[in-house]
Structure 1
Amino acid sequence: MSAASCLLSEDQFLCSICLDVFTDPVTTPCGHNFCKNCINEHWNSNDQYLCPLCKETFNTRPKLHINTLLSEMVSHSSEQQAAKPGEVPCDVCTGTKLKALKSCLVCLTSYCETHLEPHLTKSGLKRHQLIDPVKNLEDRMCMKHDKPLELFCKTDQTCVCMLCSVLDHKTHEFVPLKEEYEGKKAELGKTEAEIQEMIQKRRLKIQEIKHSVDLSKEAADREKAEGVQVFTALMESVERSLNELIETIEEKQRTTEKQAEDFIKALEQEISELKKRSSEVEKLSHSEDHLHLLQNFLSLKAAPPTKDWTEVSICPSYEGTVVRAVAQLEEMLSKQMKKQFEAQLKRVQQYAVDVTLDPDTANPWLILSDDGKQVYCGDVKKNLPDNPERFSVCANVLGKQSLSSGRFYFEVQVKEKTEWNLGVARESINRKGQFTATQHNGFWNICLRNGNEYSARNNPQVDLSLKSRPQKVGVFVDYEEGLVCFYDVDAAALIYSFTGCSFTEKLYPFFSPSLNYGGKNSAPLIICPVNQTV
């Protein structure tokens, strides 16, 4: 008997009167089942008590008995879910397809919980292989031999049936599907673990990036606050200097006006006296009295006492007033800038790294200290292996430490040297033959030539005008920002910045003590510990 025939079909759960699933199923004396309400209404509306199915007539209204077994089966069936779109339906159910619980690889059929029961209880069916429900079970049959795919051909990496193993793949290596399944499942377990590890790494990277964004925001807010403070102070200083300049000019103008007013008052006083004398002289000159004229002639002939105004003038001068005010403002701004560079230098010093020289990159003419902190050019070329990392011609050496992200900072003493190059270089730079250490060639550095000629090896070269001769140079790199800055550590001043750089590979500290020049340039470049007390 097949699995389907030993179970009730879905139609047997339907009432023949309402054609719906039984509600309170009852059994008539003739053995047929109906909903209790359906059969009662049927008999209430007819003169005879007939069975709607077999038409058997009952003389009196039969006593109905509840069908306990059918009630339980209907209740159990109703608890099972109908298959939703995308889910595997039961192949045995008619009408509403219930959700399949298992698929049989032998029967090539999917079963709901009810129709699966024979596979769980019948000894012959218990040996069948059950799996989680899958669609298209026919795909599990060999298309050529119409046999179940039971073996795995390791040679061709494909699933085959028993006939395939003796006909088309007879010389190949086979294993049961279950064995290959276990192996592949173990591999998938490793793959899953690797994927989970990759996911975890990326989650950590997300956290790292978010943390970096938070730090960046904090730094941005701090920088904005500091910028507002600095520029507010600068604007206040400029406004104060402007007000002082205007007050100075206006005070000088008030003094000029007061002086002019005093001069005019004195002149007007003298004019008044002269007019009075002129009137007296005119009057005397018209006198007919000889005695009177002669007696007053001497007193009127002499001019009244007056000031000599020949050298008196009003010549206010404002020349130099603005120049002096600007000079004072420039001095104040210079002091303010110095404070800012001191603060900036202190911040970048937080990224100090312990740099040591890499002897495998050193030109054979260079002499390195045992601790890898000093380098100068000797008088004798050493016999060293010409490995790919070594500078063969130019007197250069790199640091051992590299940077491919983030920031780093180091300081180098250049005291008593007349020539040097200092900065960073990318990993792929040319190390053989003669070349110029410019940005175009993968170097970001500044240099000293002829004792007092400083320049930045940009494209083109930028000559630098420095107020003082640096004794110690600080080098700061921000990889993501594409920034390389050089500082005069003692003066807490910015020497030069390479901005907008595009870094795509490792960067190494770069040093060139230059040639010895007969001892004139024998002082070493010295990598110094960073003292963060600026």
Structure 2
Amino acid sequence: MAEAALKTLDTLSCPICLDLLKDPVTIPCGHSYCLGCIKDCWGQDDQKGVYSCPQCRHIFSPRPVLNKNTMLAELAESQRKKRLQAAPAAAVSAAAVSPVGSGGVECDICTGTKQTAVKSCLVCLLSFCEAHIQPHYEIPAYKKHKLVEASVNLQEKLCCRHDKLLEVFCRSDQQCICLLCVMDEHSGHKTVSAAAERDEKQKQLMEAQRESQLRIQQTEKKLQDLRGAMETLRRSAQAAVADNEKIFTELIQSIERRRSEMNELIRAQEKVELSLAEELQKKLEQEIADLRRRDSELKKLLDTEDPINFLQCFQSLSSPPQSAGIPQFPISPLFSLEKLKKAVTEVMEQVEPKLVTFSGGFISSSLTAPSQRVPPGYFHLSQTRDDFLKYACQLTLDPNTANPQLALSGRNKIVTVMHLPRPYPRHPERFDRVQQVLCRESLFGRCYWEVEFNISNGDIAVCYKNINRKGEDSESGFGSNDQSWSLIHRGSRFLFKHNREETAVPVVSNSSRIGVYVDQSAGILCFYSISDTMNLLHRVHTTFTQPLYAGFGVYGYDHFVQICELKYNTDKS
């Protein structure tokens, strides 16, 4: 009896509104709908002049004449009366559901006050509240439909060309397609189901998350060691001040001036050491924050059930961020005044000249120690490639900034111009008009990197993070504003451009590799042609007021720029 009742309910339900048929009509393919529902559905196709059945997709042209099915109307009215007499529990359940709140998804079937949707159907392409989703659980014809968490982006699950459900992934073109696409423009490509590709990508994402968590642990260990060294430094400095006070309080008034000088020197040494350590501390804390934020995004993506949404978000999170190559500054946490104590004990009668001699030596060693830790070439530019490789940094391209005409590959180390735009999601940091892309990592201190290219028209640039991302080249192009500095490649010749002013580069080079050196604090930017030797193309001396980011502009079809892997030394002391 229950099965027969369900079949009757299935027959008398409109596939569009999922309610009992109202003024039922039967179209030529044999399916029945509410008169108002099918009119509204076909009204959207009036401009095309081609109409189809919402269930079987059978196409009609011209538009069929709709006549009321009196038999179905009588049966539906009878069923409606039975519902009213039985006071169905579904009505009570629907009344208990709260209206849609802020950020919720509306039920597409509710009339009047919209209730909150609990599920979306990938076959019906509709979202349903608790009451209206029941037919999908009870009616056999709907039980094969794919239900997911309520989503407002159901139209994104449709192929923009064929209006069919996206359920296949093309590995050749790295995009989601429908079954008609498989037989059309993706014929012969390597394709799998979206669910299978999600499983494969999920494995990669889990590995990326594991690496991310390992990076967090390693960086936290570095931060812990740094904090320990800083605390030791503070205690040692405090102990040195206390010893110094004890020694000088026993001396005669004639050496009071020397006591004051020694205190100042110890504090100055502490300040120099701590300033270097605190700067490094900020960088390590920022890297941990970035890694934690990315780990949170990875966890959220792993919990995503929708394979299409998963795959569309996968590319921007799949590649782990590279270490910024933060330099390590050695800290000398211990201060010693043993020489001073010995001098006072042995030569009390000659305290004044002895202390003058000692304090002079202490001043010399204290003030020169920090500069000795500065890498060679700080006050003059390096001359050999090995000198520059000491400052090599690891860079990766940021998918969230890439123009849709650009494709990233090789663990986000290669950018290539494509003939067809990539289906990147919308992002406020993306260049929408100019074919440009930025690197993910900021350039800290002194940095050096190299790129390989096959372009005859492109840019190699550095810029501030707040460079304009929207609009034409005159607004957001590298070198077209005061926030970017760009070496422009034209065949075998180069131009340098900043704030719309171009400078001709007299050097002609056929090398396909360019090296870039930046010293942010000194305001130095250099471009080199790399072959058997390094040839300086252009040098800039300016003042950088914000963190810098490497960027590239690529304009010819199939042209590419690749960030080179360089062996680098994180200890640049």
The verdict on a shared fold, with TM-score over 0.5 as the criterion, is: no
Which of 1 and 2 has greater Rg?
1
What's the TM-score bracket when you normalise by the shorter of the two chains?
0.3 to 0.5
